[in-house]
Structure 1
Amino acid sequence: MPFKVEVVPHNLQWRDAFEAESQQVAEAMGENMVAIHHIGSTAIPNIYAKPIIDLLVEVKDISRVDEQSAAMESLGYEVMGEYGIPGRRFFLKNSQAGIRTHHIHTFEIGSAQVKRHLAFRDYMIAHPDDAQQYSNLKRKLAEMYPDDIEGYMDGKDDFIKTIDQKAAEWCVFSQ
């Protein structure tokens, strides 16, 4: 089934959706869980986003996440394993209608991936002009690639790498 690429204006309910989901995920992850963060475009105010809530879960021991697979499945998540990123456990969730609603990116505490995702989010919140450029790019790509998630993702790649670099430098200077 093709993945429909849709970006929509920022929705204030995304924060509430994150909060509600993070409570359930925290219970499912148990004592191994350290923190849950709202990441991705739904965490950045005033920009267009795919209406999918991205959660970043930090855990003490990444290998123990596999023990929680049944608990995550009971919440409606599909267990995807590393899914292309070593050291990650990825979960995805669809609505009853089969529309993607949530992604969970799980990493061990201290992972460079945790730092990268949080730096990107925090940089974009602190730099609304860059966030608007990203929003405009996403809207343009969604129009160009309405049924091609790979084309959409590839179109964002250079911009994301540029922001990742800016965010890494900004984090060093802002601390």
Structure 2
Amino acid sequence: MIGLKRGSVELSSHQEEWDKNAENVILELKQLFGNAAVDIQHVGSTAIHSIYAKPIIDIVIGLRDLNDISWNGAEWNNYINFRDYLNCYPDKAALYDSCKKNWCCNFQTTEEAIRKASRS
């Protein structure tokens, strides 16, 4: 399953379809952006295999000559490094996963609460 009903919060164990869907989206985006896209990556919790996630695919695109998130800049590297770190260290991923589940239990109808908690 991908997506959630507006305003709801739900966590699911990792689904192989998330990786496949992300790969398909990345291929479509590469065709759409062509050479303007320096890199396109699947990031966020659905890209970390050992944790629960909201069934929403997060994709980050590094584009030439744009100021939002510069490819290989600090924010870009934070996305990629966070994903890779949690995939390499399952014990740390489990701790993050536990926090997400706790947040979800405490804020089942407010996705904003999870966003706020994940930034702290």
Return the TM-score normalized by structure 2. 0.88
One-letter identity of the residue aligned with 2:50? N
Q: Which residue is 2:61 aligned to? A: 57
Structure 1 2/55 Cα, relative in aligned 2: closer, same or farther at 3 Å? closer
Which runs of 5 or more residues in structure 2 are unaligned? none
Higher strand share: 1
Aligned with 2:42: secondary structure?
strand
Asked if the contact 1:2–1:147 (Cα under 8 Å) also holds between the matched residues in 2, the reply is: no
Which residues of structure 1 form unaligned runs of 5+? 63-86, 89-106, 159-175
Find the aligned partners of 2:6 and 2:90 in 1 and give their Cα distance.
32
Q: Counterparts of 2:48 and 2:6 in 1: how far apart (Å)?
A: 27
**How far apart are 1:137 and its partner, in Å?**
1.1
- 1:42, 1:53 within 8 Å by CA — same for their partners in 2? yes
Deviations 1:108-132 (A, max 9, x none): 3232111111111111111111101
Q: Read off the aligned partner of 2:36 and give its amino acid letter.
A: N
Q: Does 1:39 align with 2:43?
A: yes
Partner of 2:84: 122
In structure 2, give the amino acid aligned to 1:145: F
Task: Tell me how large the CA RMSD over aligned residues is.
Answer: 1.5
Q: Which has the larger radius of gyration?
A: 1
Percent pairwise identity:
29
The question of whether the paired residues in 2 share the 8 Å contact of 1:2 and 1:148 is answered with no
1:149 to 86, 108, 111: 111
**Residue correspondences, number:** 116
TM-score between both structures, scaled by the size of structure 1: 0.62
The answer for the alignment partner of 1:13 in structure 2 is 17
